[in-house]
Amino acid sequence: MLQHFDFNKSWKELEEASAYLRGKIKETPKIALILGSSLGSLADEIEDRVEIPYREVPHMLTSTAPGHKGIFIFGHFRGKPVVAMSGRFHYYEGYSESELAFPVRLLKLLGVEILVLTNAAGCVNESWKVGDVMIITDHINLMGLSPMRGTNFEQLGERFFDVSEMYDPNLQLQVFKAARELGSDDHTHCGVYFFMPGPHYETPAEIRAIRILGGDAVGMSTVTEALTAAHCGIKTVGLSFLTNMAAGMDDEKLSDAGVVQAAAKNGPRFQRLMARFIENIKL
């Protein structure tokens, strides 16, 4: 069915949501962190914090995925003004792609300049291991889904927009530098994130196809946010934390519990990398 977009209403909703949040915070956040499954504890280190549950924000979506808390945390991370979204929204929860654009557009209206996206992902690349980190250089989204479908918000960006450098090359380099500083460059790779809509994991045949098509990691998030950010001119960096070998690559059955366990086991290294990277960012 053709989706009808009420431009004025949606724009008004965005403005109402951002006015609400602006009324609660003292400083414009320059960096936004959208933290993936079980990777939310980085936000514990945010100082001078103001926590705002999503449900308090007018028109905001509700987080339903396991391991996703559903709060904005404003404050300082290593001295930088940030906002973390502890809990994100996914297509598999039932949201339309256009609805999924809302939180990132809200970040834009708040003044965010850099978006850091993290996710838990399956490892497709046969040379890498569980616990490694992939700096996203690009993604493949063959689902035919775009959050920018429907009426274009000209105030935010052009109808047709370039996505050839959606993941900012300089920020990618900065992550790699941070990994080197921490001596974890052996566990840090660059590669292509392949989006699958979920909520089921992939079949082994799909994983073989994804590898042939050029995917190094597979997951159910991130692309919508990155596309929305590209449209409205927020610089993006994406990090996949590889919680499991993708379907059929070993004898493990895939489960959310396994993903959570892997994130808990190797999470601290990922956390240190993120922290160093953010500390090094020059605003």
Q: How far is CA 126 from CA 26, 119, 217, 248, in A?
A: 47, 19, 10, 12
Residue 238 CB, shortest distance to ligand HPA, in Å, is 14
**Cα dihedral sign, 119-67-143-122:** positive
The number of residues making up the chain comes to 283
**What sign has the CA pseudo-torsion 99, 19, 74, 163?**
positive
Residue with Cβ nearer ligand HPA (172 or 222): 222
Q: Which residue is nearest to ligand HPA (CB)?
A: 122
What are the phi and psi torsion angles at 190 (to 5°)? -115, 140
Q: How far is the CB of 202 from ligand HPA (least distance, A)?
A: 6
Residue 58: how many CB atoms within 10 A of its CB?
A: 13
Residues near ligand HPA (CB under 6 A): 120-122, 196, 201-202, 218-220, 243-244, 246, 254, 259
Nearer to ligand HPA, 167 or 201 (CB): 201
Least separation in angstroms between residue 121's CB and ligand HPA is 5
Find the shortest distance in angstroms from Cβ 131 to ligand HPA. 13
Task: Name the helix (H) or strand (E) containing 235.
Answer: strand 235-245
**Closer of 106 and 207 to ligand HPA (Cβ):** 207
Residue 243: CB minimum distance to ligand HPA, A: 5
Considering the complex, state which of residue 217 and residue 230 has its C-beta at the smaller distance from ligand HPA: 217
Render 178-205 in DSSP notation, one character per residue: HHHHTT-GGGEEEEEEEE---SS---HH
User: In this complex, which beta carbon is closest to ligand HPA, that of residue 102 or of residue 195?
Assistant: 195
